[in-house]
Amino acid sequence: MKLIKKLKTFLRLYRQQNEFEQFLEQRQSFDKFLFDRKYFADTSAADKGVVQESELPLLQELVEKANSFPGPIIEIGTLFGFTTQRIALWKDPAKKLITVDNYCWNPFGFSPAAHFEFTHKVLWYCIKSGHIEQLNMSKDAFLSAYQGEAPSMVFIDADHNYEPTLSDIKQAQRIGARIICGHDYINEHAGVIRAVDMCGGPAQLCGSLWVL
């Protein structure tokens, strides 16, 4: 029995190592793809839509709080998956993380198909290991059809106009989200400010990261 248990442990570790090696290969080819095309020559473009380092402590606090509630974490607006990976790192390993985007916008002008593939490669290891479910679909279609367990947290960072942001918040409230938060509560995105204020305003604010 001990030998069988050791063999099972060895096989599990071997599979994990193999998956991680594939992940590194994906990332290396991905990085070369970007470097060859100089997409990141202007690093300010890569920062657009990404939660900044100074805002991460509040996001971590919210994710860890969400761990104490049942239900999945839902991210509305994946972009390239950089924030998604942070949430995946802090969430309880048993908690589901669903990230939703239709890949219609990015700062580099990728086509929707290329944008999705690009992001899928960034998230490849987290998807393969079961930490993230990446959905390529309209956020409105997803939220309006959602019938799962009430989310422990909904993080909103998609369309920054007033009506879409307000709709995302209202839908998150409708499906019973315990924590509703998001990004880009700044003058550049007046629609976000107006929508959040319409719903009671931020209870906490760190940089442009807000929580109702």
Distance CA 121, CA 93 (A): 21
**What is the number of residues in the chain?**
212
**Would you state the pLDDT for residue 50?**
85
pLDDT tens per residue, the chain (212 residues)?
555 555 555 445 455 555 555 555 555 555 555 555 444 445 455 555 689 999 999 999 999 999 999 999 999 999 999 999 999 999 999 999 999 999 999 998 899 999 999 999 999 999 999 999 999 999 999 999 999 999 999 999 999 999 999 999 999 999 999 999 999 999 999 999 999 999 999 999 999 999 99
Residues paired with residue 98 on neighbouring β-strands, in sequence order: 74, 133
Q: What percent of the chain has a predicted confidence (pLDDT) above 70?
A: 77
23 and 54 share one domain? no
Same domain, 76 and 6: no
Q: Do 21 and 69 belong together in one domain?
A: no
Q: 179 and 200: one domain?
A: yes
Give the integer Cα–Cα distance in Å for 9 and 29.
30
Number of domains in the chain: 2
Residue 32 and residue 52 in one domain: no
Same-domain check for residues 19 and 76: no
- Say yes or no: 31 and 58 in one domain: no
Same domain, 16 and 101: no
Say yes or no: 64 and 21 in one domain. no
Look up the CATH number of the domain holding residue 90: 3.40.50.150
Domain extent at residue 150: 46-211
pLDDT per residue over 84-102, tens digit each?
A: 999 999 999 999 999 999 9
pLDDT for 39: 47
Q: Do 28 and 9 have their domain in common?
A: yes
CB-count burial class (<10 Å; 0-12, 13-18, 19+) for 37: exposed
In a shared domain, residues 67 and 114: yes
| In a shared domain, residues 12 and 60 | no
> How far is residue 194 CA from its own chain's centroid?
23
